[in-house]
Amino acid sequence: MAVFQIFSQAEQRRYYAHVCSKASIFMIFVIALTFIPPFFIAYRSYGFWLRVDNYEEQPQVQFKHQLLVTMETSDSYITWSTFQNYNQLQQANLRIPVLQSREADNNGDGVRDELQLKLEMPLLDTEHIQAVQLILIFDYMLSKFSTMQMESMGYLRHESIFPGGQLKVIGDLLLVQRQPLAHRGLDTRFNTSIFDRNSLFLDAFDLSKVFTEYSSRNVTTLFQYNYPIWSKGRAAGSPFTLQATVRYPLTTVQYTPGLWQLFKWAWIQYFAILVVFIFVFNRIKAFVYQNQLVTTIVIPAFKEHKL
């Protein structure tokens, strides 16, 4: 008559030894080799601590209605700004434009998405514009992790060998970081005026000095535009028109992770290597104790219960 296996059960054995025996020393040695090397392997792989991470955020940007514009002709320039002291220092080259600006929330989420600016500079018929530079001042804030607020700048310059009558630019106000932000707290280190509005000296409005100080910041903004449209020629009596659309795009922010995020990241790096070590050394322990390479007392589990 044929016989079939209808049930199976593994026999469990337990191994006993004195604290100072070779078997105990071997077990301590195996435990150390199981748990300590994975830590050093994970650490030396340069992925154990998450030093910098990033996230995406829609910045809260507001045009402060502060700007400085300069238009260069073949032999001179004309300029204007929203800073009264600067205008007084530039009386010989001052020209007052017609200015319109509007900030739009295109997707209706309550956060401004772009600035639309139009500037019309009156000119004499004998004046011909060959270069334009514009500085716009913004209030820039991030608040998803740490709250970072600063006064930032958008700068554009375009020049042509042909006299122009209109310049159109469309670009993005991008965040530039030389240092990651903190993961929490309030950061107002760079919430200071870019121009010294109260200065009575023209040196305070020198652009080379302003740009040097601004670029030394760890966090700045950059107005990036790729396709400026320069229209040649201008009708008699017409102003030079500058139209700029400055978009406030979703930005990627670098930051330094907090303590719990470091532990969460480091734990998974360590565990991934630890699993392999546990599997290998469990096989080694089973081989050593089953073959009695070190002396132990072997008692089946069912006999131990009876005892």
Hey, where are the domains in the chain? 13-49+258-306, 57-255
| Rg of the chain, C-alpha, whole Å | 35
Average pLDDT over every residue of 56-70:
95
What are the pLDDT digits (tens) for 184-198?
Answer: 899 999 999 999 888
Considering only residues 199 and 2, tell me which one the structure prediction assigns the higher pLDDT: 199
Residue 194 confidence (pLDDT): 93
Contact 145, 126 (CB under 8 A): no
What are the backbone angles phi and psi of residue 136, rounded to the nearest 5°?
A: -115, 140
Gap between the Cα atoms of 211 and 68, Å rounded? 13
Q: Side chain identity at 199, as an amino acid letter?
A: S
Contact 16, 299 (CB under 8 A): yes
pLDDT at 1 over 90: no
Residue 302 confidence (pLDDT): 57
Gap between the Cα atoms of 286 and 198, Å rounded? 81
Residue 44 confidence (pLDDT): 82
Residue 60 confidence (pLDDT): 95
Average pLDDT over every residue of 234-247:
93
Residue 274 confidence (pLDDT): 92
Q: Which of 24-28, 135-139, 164-168 has the lowest mean pLDDT?
A: 24-28
Neighbours of 118 (CB within 10 A): 16
Residue 156 confidence (pLDDT): 96
pLDDT at 52 over 90: no
Gap between the Cα atoms of 90 and 219, Å rounded? 31
pLDDT at 79 over 70: yes
Q: pTM value?
A: 0.79
DSSP-H helix ranges across the chain: 22-44, 84-89, 207-215, 259-290, 301-306
pLDDT at 9 over 80: no
Q: Side chain identity at 146, as an amino acid letter?
A: S
Q: Which of 34-38, 98-102, 290-294 has the lowest mean pLDDT?
A: 290-294
Separation of first and last alpha carbons in the chain: 39
Contact 151, 190 (CB under 8 A): yes
Considering only residues 162 and 301, tell me which one the structure prediction assigns the higher pLDDT: 162
3-class SS of residue 179: coil
